Structure 1
Amino acid sequence: MDRIAAIRNVEDALAAFERGEIDLETMEERVQGILRTYATEYPDDGTRAYRASGDPRADGLVVLASDRSEARERLGALLDGDLDFEVEPLT
């Protein structure tokens, strides 16, 4: 899914919420699904989504990187600290 498609899908979810067709929880689920799809569907350029686990501050965070080392660097920069966490590619 490209950026424009993701934005359109988010707009559709917002519009459905505004029209009263869906509730907040449903809208949140749709938007989360859209963002997860956007973050994990990339062309074969070597970029992948990686999820952190371990330290509570890092647990569940997802970044895009070309490999595990770069993912750890990006997470470390985001969290601004020396944390103990692992990274695994999302499938």
Structure 2
Amino acid sequence: MDRISALRNVEETLGDLERGETDLASAEERVCSILRTYATDYDGDLVAWRASGDPGAEGLVVLAASEREARERVAALVDDTTGRVSVSRLA
């Protein structure tokens, strides 16, 4: 999924919410699904990586060009300076 498609899908979801055609919980679920699809079907040079190791990082998914970059991104997000964060590429 490309960025424009993801944005259109989010815009459609917001429109449905504004028109009363969906509730907030359903809209949140749809937006999360759109983001998950965008991250795992990303059309660019980046790849989705899932973090593990540090409890604060467990399950986080980031887009990065390399494993090293993914570890750095996750560590920055959870403010981890211990080096316990590991990442694995999503298939």
For normalisation by structure 2, the TM-score amounts to 0.83
- Matched residue, 2:42: 42
Superposed displacement of residue 44, structure 1: 6.6
- Matched residue, 1:53: 52
Q: Distance in 2 between matches of 1:44 and 1:36?
A: 15
- Matched residue, 1:72: 71
Question: Please, which moves more after superposition, 20-29 or 70-79?
Answer: 70-79
Q: Distance in 1 between matches of 2:43 and 2:6?
A: 15
- Matched residue, 2:89: 89
- Matched residue, 1:24: 24
Secondary structure of 2:10's aligned partner: helix
What runs of 5+ residues in structure 1 fail to find an aligned partner? none
| Contact kept? 2:50, 2:90, Cα under 8 Å | yes
Identical counterparts, % of pairs: 59
Give the RMSD, CA atoms, in angstroms.
1.7
Distance 1:43 1:8, change over 3 A: closer
Count of aligned positions: 90
For 1:24, give the aligned amino acid: L
